[in-house]
Amino acid sequence: MSAPITWLESLTNTTSSGQLLTAAKSGDCASSSCGSSSRPTDMDLATWEKVKDHPCFSEEAHHYFARMHVAVAPACNIQCNYCNRKYDCANESRPGVVSEKLTPDQALRKVIAVANEVPQLSVLGIAGPGDACYDWKKTRATFERVASEIPDIKLCISTNGLALPEHVDELAEMNISHVTITINMVDPAVGEKIYPWIFYGHRRYTGIAAAKILHEQQMLGLEMLSERGILTKVNSVMIPGVNDQHLIEVNKWVKERGAFLHNVMPLISEPAHGTWFGLAGQRGPNALELKAFQDRLEGGAKLMRHCRQCRADAVGLLGADRGQEFTLDQIPLELDYDGGKRHAYREVVARIRDDHSAAKKEAIATVASVNIPGSLQVAVATKGGGRINEHFGHAKEFQVYEASQTGIKFVGHRKVEPYCHGGWGEDATLGDIIAALEGIDFVLCARIGDCPKKQLLEAGIQATDAFGYDYIEAAISALYATKHGSDRSQLTA
Ligand code: CLF
Ligand code: SF4
């Protein structure tokens, strides 16, 4: 493993593409040959080319690349019991929530503004509120405008699937490479409990007839996408007591029809959201229930576990939303695209990724060599780049990894209110953070004070900044080996 060439976080904070270019040209290897070793061994080259800079379709890519959503297609052809498209709160983060709806021209302006400033940007998605395939003219106009200005951006849509089959050929022609279908059931009797109505073929359907049509269209759309080589992810909302056990069946059906990933997400439900489920008191699963269920699905369709249930106007790395920096009132009326930062950033990432990949391989070999079986749940504070580079008090989420002799894998995240407010820790917040970290053995962060460390320890969680700025997997493997060995000095640093 070579020494880290440069810190990604310092690069992404720079305002000049010149600094990025300097970093890209530093180092001792030709960047065109780099970035290749991070491809998973079980993935072919063609698929890797499609996912290697898509933060949702590759867990590895989400440490480096960002997506943005534009809310241009507000009309919807179904009603989901977990959705209220009128609800808008800038602090709320869940699908369907958005602060401003855009015309295709406004969306283009916003995409250019983000692309000029956020070097990690690689994907433009249309993900509600509304349905991208039903409100098709606006979806199409937006993608055409953006693709003509920024040809290397990946185009991605999320849809309920009802109007999908009629647009699959256009999606392929327009080079829309990634599609997500939300599939919550394959049995209309279950679907009836989730969808009160659909609008299809100029008429409204309710009850089991509605769910049956939706199911048939979803399966047809998925098969058509797979036939055309468009990568498909299936999102399923896990609703305890309604479809949770049924999602095992969903996982089988979508695997058989070529889904690349299955993303089981927790229902987000509160009365204040004004949704049918929220008002009815329907609860969502907690983090441990979600993980236990995802573990049961292992071996079926490949799971996505790093979804952050983004807002429909999200901007930035998953888990670090910058949407509020790019509202229309902050964007000049006229601006030209400048791809300098994005291109330079990619060159830097290609090299850093190889270094990270080598560190990961070494880490996996380390955990495999430990003889005593057992697993470790580790929560990591990170700002991206695959490193432990966030202070405990600043973390808005912790990424959770599970280490065992079979490897080190990302298994989820826990959202928290940051502990530190204006330089001081908040005891009340710390209580909430400890509750959110239920089941975690260790917390790894770049810095942590004695006081939160002590309180975490009292709750049975060991926290350390001894591995600050190391690669995540390297630190976890060292912890794992130490826990099962005799030297525990690193655990108390
Ligand atoms: Fe957006 Fe969805 Fe495309 Fe990603 S989000 S349209 S595939 S670019 Fe990603 Fe956000 Fe989860 Fe969606 S983290 S909610 S899975
Ligand atoms: Fe809401 Fe999306 Fe369901 Fe339409 S498909 S009701 S926008 S969650």
- How close are the terminal C-alpha atoms of the chain, in Å? 25
pLDDT in tens, 374-415: 899 999 999 988 999 999 999 999 999 999 988 999 999 999
Task: Please give the single-letter amino acid code of residue 369.
Answer: S
Q: Work out the pLDDT band at 424, boundaries 50, 70, 90.
A: confident
pLDDT at 348 over 50: yes
> CB within 6 Å of ligand 1 — which residues?
56, 67, 69, 95, 123, 125, 127, 156, 158, 178, 180, 233, 263, 307-310, 318
> CB within 6 Å of ligand 2 — which residues?
76, 78-80, 83, 85, 96, 128-131, 160
Structure tokens at 303: 């799971």
Atom index in ligand 2 nearest the CA of residue 83 equals 1
pTM (two decimals)? 0.88
Structure tokens at 164: 């999908």
pLDDT in tens, 153-165: 999 999 999 999 9
Q: Work out the pLDDT band at 27, boundaries 50, 70, 90.
A: very low
Task: Please give the single-letter amino acid code of residue 183.
Answer: I
| Element (DSSP H or E) covering residue 464 | strand 462-464
- Sequence-distant (6+) residues with CB within 8 A of 338 are 17, 116
28 alpha carbon – ligand 1 mean position (Å): 35
Name the residue with higher pLDDT: 57 or 29.
57
pLDDT at 4 over 70: no
Cα of 15 vs its chain's centroid, Å: 25
Mean pLDDT taken over the chain = 88
Atom index in ligand 1 nearest the CA of residue 123 equals 8
What angle is formed at CA 42 by the lines to CA 37 and CA 44, rounded to 5 degrees?
Answer: 75
Do 363 and 467 touch, CB atoms closer than 8 A? no
In this prediction, residue 493 carries a pLDDT of 41
DSSP letters for 275-286: -HHHHHTPPPP-
Q: For CA atoms 191, 192, 198, 200, give the dihedral sign.
A: positive
| Element (DSSP H or E) covering residue 231 | strand 231-238
Q: Work out the pLDDT band at 223, boundaries 50, 70, 90.
A: very high
Query: In this structure, which ligand is nearest to the CA of 160?
Result: 2
Q: For CA atoms 297, 298, 301, 307, give the dihedral sign.
A: positive
Q: Work out the pLDDT band at 23, boundaries 50, 70, 90.
A: low
Q: Work out the pLDDT band at 3, boundaries 50, 70, 90.
A: very low
Cα of 294 vs its chain's centroid, Å: 16
pLDDT at 322 over 80: yes
DSSP state of 387: B
Cα of 181 vs its chain's centroid, Å: 15
Minimal CA–CA distance to 309: which of 433, 185, 180? 180
pLDDT at 181 over 60: yes
Q: Whose CA is nearest to atom 8 of ligand 2?
A: 83
77 alpha carbon – ligand 2 mean position (Å): 8
What average pLDDT does the segment 83-90 reach? 65
In this prediction, residue 255 carries a pLDDT of 97
Query: In this structure, which ligand is nearest to the CA of 59?
Result: 1
pLDDT at 486 over 90: no
Minimal CA–CA distance to 74: which of 35, 45, 94, 103? 103
257 alpha carbon – ligand 2 mean position (Å): 23
Do 351 and 27 touch, CB atoms closer than 8 A? yes
Do 482 and 488 touch, CB atoms closer than 8 A? yes
The CB density around residue 197, as the number of other CB atoms within 10 Å, is: 14
Do 125 and 68 touch, CB atoms closer than 8 A? yes
Residue 221 φ then ψ, to 5°: -60, -45
Measured between alpha carbons, how far is 4 from 353 in angstroms, rounded to an integer? Answer: 10
In this prediction, residue 16 carries a pLDDT of 62
Top mean pLDDT of 82-91, 346-355, 438-447 is at 438-447
Atom index in ligand 2 nearest the CA of residue 77 equals 4
Cα of 126 vs its chain's centroid, Å: 15
Cβ-in-10-Å burial (0-12, 13-18, 19+) of 198 comes to: buried
Task: Please give the single-letter amino acid code of residue 140.
Answer: R
Q: Are strands 376-380 and 397-404 parallel, antiparallel or unpaired?
A: antiparallel
- Mutating to test ligand 1, I would choose from 51, 56, 121 the residue with most ligand atoms within 8 A of its C-beta, which is 56
Q: Which range (4-8, 48-52, 240-244, 328-332) has the least confidence? A: 4-8
Cα of 388 vs its chain's centroid, Å: 18
Could you tell me what percent of the chain has a pLDDT over 90? 72
83 alpha carbon – ligand 2 mean position (Å): 6
Name the residue with higher pLDDT: 175 or 493.
175
pLDDT at 488 over 90: no
What average pLDDT does the segment 276-293 reach? 94
Minimal CA–CA distance to 282: which of 237, 325, 337, 318? 237
- Mutating to test ligand 1, I would choose from 305, 310, 311, 415 the residue with most ligand atoms within 8 A of its C-beta, which is 310
Q: Whose CA is nearest to atom 8 of ligand 1?
A: 125
